[in-house]
Structure 1
């Protein structure tokens, strides 16, 4: 359990790190903090005293307490230029993330940089914690996969403070639109369009779509699913679209698929899955219900991960560059660092990268048209 003074200390420190308190600006008075945190003056003074000792604040007799300039402090402490890059992802140890990280790490290590890995588990509080570490521990730059990128982010001020402190960062897989950062992405919308188009061309009309919509990727993939239906003039049944959040990913899609399988009357013949990880969970539900794949129902994943070959039925999926994406992210962050170090305004502009997508067809989908012609000629 945190002590009262440590809560006050962390709150002041957070305001420094998110840029609320700028260098040489006066912080709140002791009386204001006593009221805000419902603590004694002694508690406030203890918290401020420690921050002064640690170089976060300084006092001026008769004027008050001010935010210190940490860039000066770091330069004198030898913290700057440690050739250390932070990689912050939503997850580290599972699915496609190890391949992305290996791609980035291989390039960065070859250039003499050490890589520190952090996982937010798609939680904003963890993201804030790691952004504070990046600011305070002298990282040269950061590669960041944003947390719940479809939502307004409560940590935007930390990113703005990174920019103010000239700590370069890029984003991978998604990005916060308000910041317009350099980023390395996969064309998620096009990928989902290809998923859906493949099934439409095989004669499927009742296609379930499962999309995780608290991140940008899920929303773009749902957009691609809708766009394919509209382009091929196939009516969309809104009941066939399931959206879910990170906290629901293990239960809601499975429950919804079971519901579709239990219903009477016309049933879906195909599934567009947000990613391969979810597709494997849905395949398990289908097997438990003795539904044959692809004879009874077809399914398409996204990411072309190692999971596509593990299942009894090999999964049709959208290719994700994974290691190449990580390598490009590593190159991009080093380009930013070098450009900043040279302070060369005439340097070549560094641009974001969008990887194209392609469908990898395996055995999880089946043509159900009578003549096998589908909708190829309808545009």
Structure 2
């Protein structure tokens, strides 16, 4: 069980990191905190003493305890970069991290890595943990970037401390933080265009919409239909959230594959390769074949795209190269440019990789 003084200390740090307490602002009195936390005065004093020693707080004789000016006791460049991703050990994320680390290590920087599991509360915990450390900068993949950001106060704290940070793959729409990402809308457009040019007219798109990547890919999918004058049926776009990714799309796929051949879709565009590969199993279970009965396009060109019996047509995500570019950008922000560069988006064009999972549509009979 965590000692009471540590719980008090962590709560006060949370106030500081979320800007509930700003630099040079005064803390409540020891008596007030004793009542607020339901602990002894000695417990409060122990927590405050450690925070003073660590440089987060400062005491002024006869006046009270105040939040210290950020970085007052930190080295000018701690040479440590924090990296927050939604996941670490699976899919494309190890290669992104590898790209970041390979570039940073050459410049003598250490990497401090954490992941959110794509949960906002875990993101808050990651940010609090990292803001406790002496950092030179931060690279963040937002958690559920398609929804309201409940951790905005922590990013504002970073800006108030003039801590350089860069978002990758997406950014929160309510912020104008610098961002490095793939052109997801263009990718969604290219995926649908590829199938339309192959003669497919009954397409379905599966998109995860609690992040901006999925929203943009869906927009591109819709835009391609409009460009080519192809009717987009109301049920041609299936959306889901992270929590439903293991069930929702699969259930929808089964319903679509049970339609009569004249109504069954002939092409699918999926949010990513991971979903595409899972849907391939559903197609096989229905006695259908790819691409003879159904063409499928993924996204990311992950290792999964070539790990299956049918090699997957997909849009390429640069992964390791994106990691290296992100490292170069955060180093530039630290070493020379404005650490709070606003509204800069560096957008990488996608590349269509055509493999065995797509083919020209041939009308039966």
1:99 to 91, 95, 100: 95
Match of 2:305 among 304, 308, 312: 308
Q: 1:36 to 1:193 in 2, by over 3 A?
A: farther
User: Which residue is 1:356 aligned to?
Assistant: 349
2:147 equivalent in structure 1: 151
- Deviation of residue 6 (structure 1)? 4.1
Aligned to 2:225: 229
Deviates more, 1:328-337 or 1:17-26: 17-26
SS of the equivalent of 2:299 reads strand
Aligned residues: 362
Look up the match of 1:297: 294
Unaligned runs of 5+ in 1: 371-379
Any residues of structure 2 matched to 1:113-128 within 5 Å, and which? Answer: 113-128=109-124
Deviation of 1:57 after TM superposition, in Å, equals 2.6
- CA distance in structure 1 between the aligned counterparts of 2:212 and 2:278, rounded to whole angstroms: 22
CA gap of 1:3–1:187, structure 2 versus 1, over 3 A, is same
* Residue aligning to 1:326: 323
> What is the Cα deviation at residue 215 of structure 1?
0.6
Give the 5 Å matches for 1:59-138. 59-75=59-75, 80-138=76-134
**Using the alignment, how far apart are the partners of 1:4 and 1:361 within structure 2?**
59
Structure 1 runs (4+) deviating above 6 angstroms are none
Paired residue for 2:213, among 217, 222, 231? Answer: 217
Residue 231 of structure 1, CA deviation: 1.4
CA contact (8 A) 1:24 1:68 kept: yes
CA contact (8 A) 2:55 2:72 kept: no
Shift of 1:252: 1.3
CA distance in 2, matches of 1:141, 1:344: 9
Q: 2:39 and 2:71 mapped to 1: Cα distance?
A: 31
Distance 2:89 2:298 in 1: 20
Q: Which moved more, 1:178-187 or 1:270-279?
A: 178-187
The answer to which of 54-63 and 156-165 deviates more is: 54-63
- Quick check: 1:161 aligned with 2:157? yes
Q: Deviations over 1:250-308 (max 9, x none)?
A: 12111111122234572111110001111000011111222111111110001112211
Deviation of 1:167 after TM superposition, in Å, equals: 1.6
TM-score, scaled to structure 1? 0.87
1:377 — aligned with what?
Answer: none
Task: Name the structure 1 match of 2:10.
Answer: 10
CA distance in 2, matches of 1:277, 1:88: 21
Shift of 1:102: 1.8
Identify the match of residue 207 of structure 1 among 186, 194, 203.
203
Q: What is residue 373 of structure 1 aligned with on the other side? A: none
User: Match for 1:176 among 167, 172, 188?
Assistant: 172
Query: Contact conserved, 2:138 with 2:166, CA < 8 A, in 1?
Result: yes
Aligned-pair CA distance for 1:178: 2.3
Cα drift, residue 63 of structure 1: 3.4
- Partners of 2:152 and 2:236 in 1: CA distance: 35
With over 3 angstroms needed to count, the CA separation of the structure-2 counterparts of 1:107 and 1:350, relative to structure 1, is: farther
The superposition leaves residues 5-54 of structure 1 with CA deviations (integer Å, 9 ceiling, x where unpaired) of 54443222111112221222112345655665566666655544543454
Q: Distance in 1 between matches of 2:78 and 2:46?
A: 32
Structure 2 unaligned residues grouped into runs of 5+ = none
Local SS of the residue matching 2:176: coil
Q: Residues 222-274 of structure 1, C-alpha deviation per residue, up to 9 Å, x if partnerless?
A: 11111111112222222232211112111211111112223457211111000
Q: Which secondary structure state, in structure 1, belongs to the residue aligned with residue 83 of structure 2?
A: strand
Q: 1:352 and 1:237 mapped to 2: Cα distance? A: 33
Inter-partner Cα distance in structure 1 for 2:108 and 2:71: 24
Deviation at 1:196, TM superposition (A): 0.5
Q: Give me the TM-score of the superposition, normalised by structure 2.
A: 0.90
Residue 199 of structure 2 aligns to a residue whose secondary structure is: coil
CA distance in 1, matches of 2:297, 2:64: 63
